[in-house]
Amino acid sequence: MKPAPFDYVRPGSLADALAALSDDPGAKVLAGGQSLVPLLSMRLAAPSTLVDINGLPGLDGVEVTDDGVRVGALARHADVLAHDEAARVQPLLRLALSHVAHPTIRNRGTTVGSIVHADAAAEMPVVLTLLGGSVEVAGPSGTRTVPADELYVGPLESSLAHDEIATSAFFPALAPGARVAFAEIARRHGDYALVGAAALVEGGTVRVGYVSVNDVPVVVDLTGVPVEQMADAALAQLEPAGDIHATADYRAQLVRVLTERVVREATADE
């Protein structure tokens, strides 16, 4: 389990990093390495160059305003999880991040890396989608903002081009009176979820995002559906699949349980 040969560069500026990506169509960005390095070691990925962005200045911040939380590309899951202001402005961040992997992995893995890695089993892509957040992307021809609902195009596939770098992700603040809840069931503590669910109840709307159910991050609008019928309503729009840890039917059962659990929590009297 050793990677195939690759070149390695560690640029000191965003411009150099973008140039390095443009120079080599086989190049890949290396952030925290918690998803990429295992893929390299198992030779499931063999990029010709790794462009390590850990030397880029100014990308490790977590900025909080009344509008929301902006997470820089080099902010680690652990930085965001520990950020009290971020948790106050958007509580779903902390609720979800505490389910992401284990402390050692959260210390290296970046939240933005997780978002652009586009794994439907990961928590933060669903959180970003449910909240209607966005990603700031730098490319050869400048920067652009990609809304979450335009980010995920297929399994493990984002709409970022090969020569683009996500510089930050933006999570909108929780609106006054709005509520969120998060729950997941995993085989072992810290594992990827068998199913996870995040609820956002805001001004009469009820939306629930699901982790590990469809092959891309998915959010279902359940506004107006009575709580006891929500699970069926959600399942009508979902495609839970079977794998070696859970059959499709069992996943559907977990969708039922968790839908009700998060919606009740987000609508319960405080």
Partner 1 sequence: MTTKLMGTGVQRVEDQRFLRGLGRYADDVAVDASTLHCAVLRSPHAHARIVDIDVADVLDVDGVHAVWTYDDLTGPMADPLPLLIPHPALTHGRTQYALAKDEVNYMGEAIAFVVADDRYVAEDAVGRIKVTYDVLPPVVGIAAARAADRLVHDDVPGNVGARMEQNTGDVEAALAAAPHRLTLDLDVERSACMPLEGRGTVARWDPDIDRLQVWTSTQTSTGVRAVVAVKLGLDLRQVDVITPDVGGGFGVKINHPWPEELLVPLAARTLGRTVKFTEDRREHFISSAHERGQVQHIEVGFDDDGRLLALDVMFWHDHGAYTPYGLIVPIITSTQLLGPYKPDVYRVVFESLYTNTVMVTPYRGAGRPQGCYAMERTMDAIAAELGKDRTEVRATNFIQPDEFPFEQGLVFQDGRELTYDSGDYPASLEKIKALIGWDDFPAYRAEMAAQGRRVGIGLACYVEGTGVGPYEGAHVHVETSGKVKVATGLTTQGQGHATVFAQLVADELGCRFEDVEVVTGDTRRMPYAVGTFASRAAVMSGSAIHLAARKAKQKALTIAAEALEASPDDLQIVDGVVSVKGSPGSAIDLGTVAVLSNPLRYAFDEASKAATQFTVGDASKPPVAEDEEPGLEGTDFYSPERSTFASGMHAVIVETDPLTAEITVLKYAVVHDCGKLINPTIVEGQIHGGVAQGVGGALYERMVYDESGQLLNASFMDFLMPYVTEVPDGIDIDHLETPSPLNPLGIKGAGEAGVIPSAAVFASAIEDAEGLPITAMPISPSDLFHLRLAHAEETS
Ligand X SMILES: Cc1cc2nc3c(=O)[nH]c(=O)nc-3n(C[C@H](O)[C@H](O)[C@H](O)COP(=O)(O)OP(=O)(O)OC[C@H]3O[C@@H](n4cnc5c(N)ncnc54)[C@H](O)[C@@H]3O)c2cc1C
Question: Using CB under 6 A as the criterion, what x/- string covers residues 227-246 for binding ligand X?
Answer: --------------------
- Exposed (0-12), middle (13-18) or buried (19+): which is 270, by Cβ within 10 Å? exposed
Q: How far is the CB of 28 from ligand X (least distance, A)?
A: 4
Q: What is the DSSP letter of 175?
A: P
Rounded Cα gap, residues 85 and 69, in angstroms: 9
Rounded Cα gap, residues 196 and 107, in angstroms: 22
Rounded Cα gap, residues 270 and 254, in angstroms: 25
Selected binder of ligand X within 117, 207, 251, 261 (CB under 6 A): 117
Rounded Cα gap, residues 218 and 130, in angstroms: 8
162's contact among partner 1, ligand X, none, with CB below 5 to 8 A by partner kind, is: none
Rounded Cα gap, residues 187 and 196, in angstroms: 12
Selected binder of partner 1 within 84, 228, 249, 270 (CB under 8 A): 249
Segment lying near partner 1 (by CB under 8 A), choices 139-147, 160-168, 184-192, 225-233: 184-192
Written as one letter, the residue type at 83 is H
116's contact among partner 1, ligand X, none, with CB below 5 to 8 A by partner kind, is: ligand X
Selected binder of ligand X within 116, 148, 213, 255 (CB under 6 A): 116
CA 203 → CA 100, 128, 130, 134, 224, distances in Å?
29, 19, 15, 21, 12
Residues in Cβ contact with 100 at an 8 Å cutoff, skipping those fewer than 6 apart: 77, 81, 106, 109, 114, 122, 123, 124
Q: What part of residues 3-32 is at the interface with ligand X (CB under 6 A)?
A: 28-32
Segment lying near ligand X (by CB under 6 A), choices 60-68, 81-89, 106-114, 171-179: 106-114
Query: Under DSSP, is residue 65 helix (H, G, I), strand (E, B) or coil?
Result: strand
Q: What part of residues 72-91 is at the interface with ligand X (CB under 6 A)?
A: 73
How many binding residues for partner 1 (CB under 8 A)? 22
**Quick check: 33 binds partner 1 (CB under 8 A)?**
no
**Quick check: 165 binds ligand X (CB under 6 A)?**
yes
Give the interface with ligand X as residue ranges (CB under 6 A). Answer: 28-36, 38, 53, 73, 100-101, 105, 109-110, 112-114, 116-117, 122-124, 160, 165-166, 192
Task: Give residues in contact with partner 1 (CB under 8 A).
Answer: 1-5, 42-43, 185, 187-191, 244-247, 249-250, 253-254, 257
